[in-house]
Amino acid sequence: MPADDPDSMQRELAEVRAERDALRRDLGDLRARLCITLGILREEPGPQGITVVSVATDPEIVEEVQRLQEEPATDREADRRWSAIDALILENRRIQAVQSIRSEFGTSLRLAVDLLNERFIRLRRRHPDGLGEGPDTYGNGISS
């Protein structure tokens, strides 16, 4: 079979495309895992009122990794402790977030509310599109 055979070239082209598509899927999976691990998934409004979760861009992922490299290890440990609480804050589940803060850090109710508000401000800087309320109104309805 000659190398210029159209059927042979089509098969080879199909194999190369399949390999390319597999690599793209793997890269997409890697981006998603990185965003989950780094806590930089984006939540955006989608059709019919549903929330769509999307991954950050490559430059945003690299920027977050660089920021983490510069952050002291104690801050990374604190962020690990905050990860479940952050999810509650991003879901606007304030009461559960306050309960989790009290449980995780052993604080009073007043301090837990203060910590919640401080964490909200920090998350707002990291995820400006993910938090609909402003820092002035987030704590409304919660008082100690």
Given 36, 70, 104, which residue is the final one in a domain? 70
pLDDT at 58: 92
Domain presence at residue 2? yes
Q: Which residue segment(s) compose the domain that 25 sits in?
A: 1-70
* Residues 96 and 108 occupy one common structural domain: yes
Structure tokens at 91: 């879901």
Given 35, 53, 70, which residue is the final one in a domain? 70
* Residues 79 and 118 occupy one common structural domain: yes
Given 14, 38, 70, which residue is the final one in a domain? 70
Secondary-structure percent of the chain, ordered helix, strand, coil, rounded to 5: 70, 5, 25
pLDDT at 133: 55
Residue 44 bridge partners (DSSP): 52
* Residues 62 and 121 occupy one common structural domain: no
* Residues 20 and 52 occupy one common structural domain: yes
Could you count the other beta carbons within 10 Å of the beta carbon of residue 75?
11
pLDDT at 131: 65
Tens of pLDDT along the chain (144 residues)?
Answer: 455 788 999 999 999 999 999 999 999 999 988 888 888 877 778 888 887 778 888 999 999 888 878 766 666 677 788 889 999 998 889 999 999 999 988 889 999 999 999 899 888 887 776 665 554 454 545 544
Q: Tokens 């104690």: give the residue.
A: 74
pLDDT at 1: 47
Residue 52 bridge partners (DSSP): 44
pLDDT at 14: 96
- C-alpha 96: how far from chain center: 19
C-alpha 27/C-alpha 29 separation (Å) is 5
